[in-house]
Structure 1
């Protein structure tokens, strides 16, 4: 569940975020692949650079040092002082170059190979111990073993570096190392035969070492050559097919057949050995250098052999990433702009244009549908089609609203016509009743006439309600201000159960004549509503109080009240700017709404402390005139009158009829 909520929180909410996420996913994936290719290519370039440094600082000096030690070992075994001196000088020069390379790479040795620092230390100690080795008067075999140990230590350093010699132009480092060991085996053969020649015989130990060296040399040379790169095999194959190597192999075979003793080093047996051995060693060293250190040194880190297809992949990947970004940004921006325009258009239609058109239609003004919502052509783009569909919906809504407004206008015209006709008849009826009431009559008969007068007055109010809901002002009105008390009694006189209404003493103020008819009508609706929704045995209280902002009139019934939802709905209808004439159950509230809006009154329903409902009406100060100074308390209320005034006896309205009646 938590993962689901987390996924919902991470889900993009806006259209812009969704489009960006949709377009950026393939771009990010492509960038990740390109980054991988770029890192791999950079690693290849770095490996090539590091291989060049390793070759120049360690591998090449180690190879030269090994060749010099091999030559010095052979010279020491032969016992020729002049040749030995030259060999020692060459060894010292190569040892100095080797030490310089070791010092240059000492800080990075552990990064190249964890075993390399110890091996370098051992080889460095060997170079420092050369002078001590040269001064010893040990046996020839001991000297041979010491020199061979130094060479093995050098090969150990080369072996630790074989993983770094990984350029694409050089052969496999392990293969080159095997060829180096094959050359070392041949150098050992030369040293052993030189020692035997100097002594006049080949001892059994020397013979055994010679046999082992020949075996190693032949076991490593030809198989290793087969594993070289094709361009490096050529030099070795030329050497293996040369006369020097053939003579060398023939002498090796004769020595192996002669066995230990004097016959193995006889002058005729070793004829041409030194020349062939030196030629083969020189060729092996050159071929080895070309296959390993020289090839790595000549490698171009940024060349085709190093980069190859990965370089093309990086370049093409970069072009693809840039094109993807360009296309994604272009397409995404265009799509976002179109969607935002579509959203803004829809919001403008829903929030401003359509409501304004509806209000104009509701107010009875015509609306040009083609001007409000011009029809677009149906384009091939889906977003344009959505915009066209929205326009079609807007036109359909305006058409339906216009037809409904025309229907309501027609109904309103019928209401106005019927109401006008009813008013004419009711005015004539009230005039007749007024004349009849003025004649002397029996009290019972006069009482019946008063009842008919009440009914006619209520009928007149209902016809006025039709005019009010149709937006037409009723015909009756007064030119002079009317006291508030008379206004309250006139409102009560327009309901059927006038005896149930208890009118409390009203402030001594008057209403302007132009507002009297609407206030009477509004209060009559509220009082009649209170009498209708309360038990017949209860009283309806009608009170008025002076405030600083005007006069507050309260109509309180003794009913069962209203729940919160019903009360809120009723107050909403009292304050709403729109009147739904199809809601027949709330006609009275809508009439009060229109009257309050026309006169600037404020009407509110609330539950009363006694359990019923109280309707409060605020008449603003601009509709009032003080008949005498009013003494207010500190809160702006008129000092209340503790005893209610008696309700009027049944009879006609107390306000004289004026124009329109």
Structure 2
């Protein structure tokens, strides 16, 4: 069968494959349990059962070897030789069975490694016997030589108890632990019989005996607690017998009363009869427990076979039924999904972008017309389609409401900003009138401060206008010298006294960009002053470059990290859409919008002095280069974009004939005096001043002899009065010059 949608076909096929794989995994897990049980039974027959008699014979050989070293005699030697023969016979059977192919297939890598270690240790039995026969080993060393071989067999047991059935595995581990406890008792018996046969305990023997007694009791108690209930009862019955209790008493007598190199409180015969009987009884109990464990493993195997039949047979039937059902329902599913996909793509690629574009252009959108409901039926796919209808209606309605909200917020911001701007203009006009008629220096100083605050308020109002997407409506018809543009920006900065203006040359700025550039520079200078220590200064300099005019604003603050600099430059170069959540760094947003309006490039970089340098590159079409007549403007500017009042700057002939704002005491690097030709005037109609041009020769010659420190005796109050008088005279001169120029124009 063929599906029209290849992805759906792939997914259905993947679902069927995964279902088949899940069935195969379940069948394999069940089968693996049965295989593991079969392998365990193989290892039990080929390794575990043959090793049990081998352990018993090795323990007996160890006991007889210690007795021969303790009390050498022909009889002891004969008994040891007979025991070694029995051990060799059992060992040969063990090696034959353990080396079979079935064992090699059934054994895990870990079990193979332990089995090989045990076989290597058993091969070293001949070398240990030679050392014992030459009597180079004492009783403790003799027992340890065979104990190492026995321990390798028990380590082999440890790697065989990892079965999948938790209960069977836990019982197997408990059985191995009880066998280890019996081994501790066998070591204790061999050591005690050797010492008692010699008639005394050596200091090392008595210490070893005490350790073995403690370990054997602790190991036995711990292992019994893990045994099944039946095996626990059998061991407790054994522990309650008189023989077992008598062994405990003799252990206590030897550990508490025996003294090295003296006659022990227990005879060799007493110990042998009791200890050998307990060892035999414990071996019989362990045999019964092992047989019960094998029986339980067999029952588990039967359950595994039943689970294999259920998981394999019934699971296979379920897989086949799933395949048939998937194929019969795939066609209808594909058709419904294709219809739903087409509707979703139409909404995402056509309708929703179209609605957003129309909203951006200010058009009204009807949500019901733009989001008609789609019919998908009443089944599950139909319910998804109904949910999709709700989603598309909500998406379009949200886009409409969001656009309306943004436009309303922008209109509110623009209305408030325009009102504030109008009030500030009226306030500045009133301040100008007050400044003209005020002659008192103190009152005039306060008026200048109020004038400066109002100018800063005007900049904040213009920020709101820029954020709302409109123009601040401050404009000049004629070009303005660049130094006056910078000074106009300083008039809108709070800490203008910390700003040093470097020489700007004779370059001017086209009138249509003066207002926005003043605003842009004011924002950057304000940032530079705000983010630098109060004892530092900010330098503003400019020069003509190949592509226009570059202004640099450098502070001596803490600077910005490279990541912050990159982020700020990206924000300036590509300003995002303004939204209410982006309240941080609104100044950079205003700068980016003003720069975008005139093609100005603004970038930030690290200053070599540790702060930040802002570079403002004015395009060449906005720059009136050196040598051009700055008094010639760029023509009339649209009246609707002119503000009711402009900053009265030097070189702005269209400025209102009114007092300028407070003269900013900005430290400016002086330029060398340039002699001007006779009858040359400034754009405002004032003659150029040539230093010492009108001085008498005697005064000019004695200028160098004047005391440069004469003004050091003046008080700050005297200096303030002098500056106030200078400012008042400057204002009057400018007003008179403007009046005369206007009268001259009227006469013509």
TM-score, normalised to structure 1, is 0.44
**Structure of higher CA gyration radius:** 1
